[in-house]
Structure 1
């Protein structure tokens, strides 16, 4: 009996080995036929097994002779995209295939290839399997493809227009005053070390999206509900837990988002069985959040049936109308003559994605923008000069979106935001896949390559953003690098024209259907226009970010409000006390600030991407908000750069 079992195990192992080798040889042949450079990996880099055992299997892979693994090793490491960005492509080619027994993986930071891939949704659909976890609360516009995606896109895009961008602008101005008050402290004087920049920018963008997008007024600590607030809305706006809840709506949402990966990856039964306090807390936050959303959905259904009109984008109301209005919302899709409607879980799922997309991504950009300006005083001074020139000392509450957004979009304010998005895009990779129907051609520099059907495609945004072929560069002033492609240099956006040849402007087979959302360019005509496919902070093509214009309005408004009357400096507490700084000469202050700059840049390099690119754990950069004219460092540091 034992001998039979042993033989069975041996036979199974031999068959598995034979199957693996056969699949690898077949995939190598497919990669060869593509004409693209290819490299071999024993495991598919994105498979769950490879991700969970990354260091272990790479250690085993390196036992082979160096020639078998040396070149491709950098792209087999977990989270390499932001850390190494364009560098691996210099060695492996701007588009290359990783071959494993499981499947093929095409990595690219070539603008020509990226433009073709993002322009042909049917040929290169989104790899929705990579987003499957985000459908936990209901299928949504991010996790679907085909006809189902078309329906979700048309329904959700209705709220994203210039009128609502103006609403977001106004709310951003208002909420940024709340952020400033938090940073100034109880005495309103400022110049206090702030270690919670990430959490504070998260609160800022959450407050904005919840009011502008969902009609729920959110408050900063110390603020209170005005008299006469609708009792239903008060339940969601309150900082205290209402009846039948154990935490407030704001806390339930914030903590759900904070623990989102744990919640998405861990089954409910496992969370409740785990002894850790954080596991139970995260589970309780999600339970409260979903209960709030069910109640919110019920309230919105009543509003729709009563024909109540909400101020602003009213994303939830637009979603509800597809199923509970008298007729389908504008743009709802039809299949076989029947109007397709969203189910309740799909409404909640789309609302969740809109909150995540309109909250965490923008918050991270705002966070990094503030840090980069503090670490680069020369850029901060130039930004303030443009704010002074365009807005002067006018009251921000009087700023008009239509009047101010275009001048700001052509100014140093936009250049700073664009440069932050170039270096630190919220999403570092867009996963695509070659349609299983047939191989797909891509044309590069006059040559045609056939990408095999079923190949996963990694549109490596963070790498093409640092591909010097497409960007104005000069020798680095911060390092001994040949170019400043890795440096924060907003001034590069004031070069006109375009670098790099992206081939023919029209892509054969490109999508022509209007799927809704803002369709204008990512950058002002007065600033540098990268070639198509080289700059994708909001992705590109049919599946580009619906909230692009909203995010741009939010960032331009918030940055302008802060830097109109204030400066941001890196905290130097680690190296000198306030008394010691006060006694220093300018030269001594510059030296101590240089230490803070070096550490800030090193900390920013520790960012990594789970859902979005951000700092994790205890990594943070402390800052101080000071009134203009009271700066200790940024009014003179780096003046020669």
Structure 2
């Protein structure tokens, strides 16, 4: 009988705890004076994060609207719903769960204010846990620690490095394009994997000082390893939450782990080994290098040496070096690789924009097809349409669909449309990038349409390329964030993307392999279906890009 009472008590506690917590947070949220939505599952619930692809369709299928709350469940809903939830609730609303209050905003001016408040609105440890898999870093830290990491990691991202990024990006694209054209009419299904390899090689050359050919390098199995650098990173990025959960547990006997769990454990172990190897190799050569020409890895190793000498203000621990290397692998390659991949698929769907790009590329290089002689300083500023393509791709398919902040232990007052709203302590603040990027308020009635020419304006009377300028980036468009925590690799990514696109479309076109009996409109729809079938992993990715085969053809 006593055991039964204990079981009943525990069952009641388990049932009542989330209900009481939900009620407590709801009462707190009411005081803010903004619309409120309710979700029975917290945003950081590991079960939802791991199984969301199968759970969300189940919730949607429930009768009588019992699963309607699913539109507010998980941060992936920001991409899935774009601007629709803000169209329903207004420029700011709250979601209350048993675990937290989450404040969503898509008002451009307020969003910019939020991102400028580095000290009042900080990064949440709970949301950043996954990104601390290998150690804390410049993205996840706050306060003085953030300032120390930022001071050490930012200098290598300079204009001198941009010229190197340009050359490496062109060389990598040569290898990638040769691989694609060699497939002939059969087409390519590994576009996403290849852009990942390219972006990793560019990052490693520009940030870590190592050069590889496109066909080798991070995709090959290095001596002493059982998984390549690229494959280990890919598995971690696709299975980051399970990797964090497994990493937080005591060692588990191998026979208990599933095949997938063993693969994740191996990926984490192998990627750690790859990074440690890079660090040790750099330690051997760092003293022989001019500090003014430091790449990211050199700067990190110098900071490690400073820490070992007791210079904490200018130093980093080994775990902090590992954390920053992992973070720059994510932010410096995963985002750009996906943006290049999305841009290629979008151009395969809207083929007229390939001619639009070729017109500019031909005008800039004037028949010079010797890619190795293309000069960054002369060409990059003129390739405005290529950069416009990047902006439009980032607008519709941003790698980062939300920018998180946290009120911490204090309440924070923000002003929206002239009215003040005070957020309680421990409130997650979410700048809804996915909504800001597609709201008709900012982009017009065709806000969901792919139109890279929306970024170009004419400065002269006639429509010729020399009279074109990029329109200023509007308030509310934050592909690299804004404020003190904006991305230092913005120019790095822009130079890489523009170089790759200019090379790809200088003399080539891309199209989808048509299925028997398929019309042009049908293949276009199929392409957009594959593009839209995207989900939030660490960044936004297409779930099945391999469903469309892409053919690359040389043009006269």
Relative to the length of structure 1, the TM-score reads: 0.77
Query: What SS does the aligned partner of 2:129 have?
Result: helix
Aligned partners of 1:31 and 1:97 also within 8 Å: yes
Q: 2:175: which partner in 1?
A: 178
Q: 2:463: which partner in 1?
A: none
State yes or no: 1:432 paired with 2:393: no
Query: What SS does the aligned partner of 2:469 have?
Result: coil
- Which structure 2 residues correspond to residues 263-282 of structure 1 after superposition, within 5 A? 263-267=243-247, 269-270=251-252, 272-273=254-255, 277=259, 279-282=261-264
The 3 A distance-change label for structure 1 pair 286 and 98 is closer
Aligned partners of 1:271 and 1:279 also within 8 Å: no
Query: What SS does the aligned partner of 1:194 have?
Result: coil
Partners of 1:60 and 1:258 lie apart in 2 by 23
- Deviation of 1:32 after TM superposition, in Å, equals 2.0
Structure 1 counterpart of 2:269, from 267, 287, 290:
287
Aligned partners of 1:271 and 1:283 also within 8 Å: no
Structure 2 counterpart of 1:569, from 488, 496, 511:
511
Query: What SS does the aligned partner of 1:130 have?
Result: helix
Q: Quick check: 31-40 or 10-19, which moved more?
A: 10-19
Q: 2:497: which partner in 1?
A: 555
Aligned partners of 1:215 and 1:310 also within 8 Å: no
Structure with bigger helix share is 2
- Which structure 2 residues correspond to residues 541-552 of structure 1 after superposition, within 5 A? 541-552=483-494
Aligned partners of 2:197 and 2:230 also within 8 Å: no
- Deviation of 1:609 after TM superposition, in Å, equals 0.8
Structure 2 counterpart of 1:527, from 467, 470, 476:
470
Aligned length: 544
The 3 A distance-change label for structure 1 pair 64 and 452 is farther
Aligned partners of 2:124 and 2:408 also within 8 Å: no
Aligned partners of 2:440 and 2:446 also within 8 Å: no
The 3 A distance-change label for structure 1 pair 57 and 216 is closer
State yes or no: 1:454 paired with 2:453: no
Q: 2:104: which partner in 1?
A: 107
- The C-alpha deviation readout for 1:79-126, integer Å capped at 9, x for no partner, is 322221111211122210012343211112221221111110111112
The 3 A distance-change label for structure 1 pair 220 and 262 is farther
The 3 A distance-change label for structure 1 pair 271 and 197 is farther
- Deviation of 1:136 after TM superposition, in Å, equals 2.1
- Deviation of 1:370 after TM superposition, in Å, equals 0.6
The 3 A distance-change label for structure 1 pair 495 and 76 is farther
- Deviation of 1:495 after TM superposition, in Å, equals 5.0
Q: 1:397: which partner in 2?
A: 372
Q: 1:296: which partner in 2?
A: 278
Cα RMSD after superposing both structures: 3.3
The 3 A distance-change label for structure 1 pair 124 and 619 is farther
State yes or no: 1:466 paired with 2:438: yes
Query: What SS does the aligned partner of 1:450 have?
Result: strand
Partners of 2:20 and 2:200 lie apart in 1 by 51
Structure 1 counterpart of 2:212, from 206, 210, 218:
218
Aligned partners of 2:530 and 2:544 also within 8 Å: no
The 3 A distance-change label for structure 1 pair 82 and 549 is same
State yes or no: 1:387 paired with 2:338: no
- The C-alpha deviation readout for 1:559-605, integer Å capped at 9, x for no partner, is 00111111111121x226xxxxxxxxxxxxxx722221110101111
Q: 1:508: which partner in 2?
A: none
Query: What SS does the aligned partner of 1:98 have?
Result: strand
The 3 A distance-change label for structure 1 pair 459 and 403 is same
Q: 1:494: which partner in 2?
A: 456
The 3 A distance-change label for structure 1 pair 248 and 464 is closer
Q: 1:37: which partner in 2?
A: 35
State yes or no: 1:318 paired with 2:299: yes
Q: 2:536: which partner in 1?
A: 609
Aligned partners of 1:217 and 1:237 also within 8 Å: no
Q: 2:339: which partner in 1?
A: 365
The 3 A distance-change label for structure 1 pair 251 and 441 is closer
Query: What SS does the aligned partner of 2:31 have?
Result: helix
- Unpaired runs of 5+ residues, structure 2, are 460-467
- Deviation of 1:18 after TM superposition, in Å, equals 5.8
- The C-alpha deviation readout for 1:365-423, integer Å capped at 9, x for no partner, is 00000110110011111111111122222232222222222222xx2211111100000
Q: Who wins on radius of gyration, i.e. which is larger?
A: 1
Partners of 1:352 and 1:20 lie apart in 2 by 35
Aligned partners of 1:165 and 1:553 also within 8 Å: yes
- The C-alpha deviation readout for 1:196-238, integer Å capped at 9, x for no partner, is 11011111111111112112122233x7xxxxxxxxxxxx779
The 3 A distance-change label for structure 1 pair 18 and 260 is closer
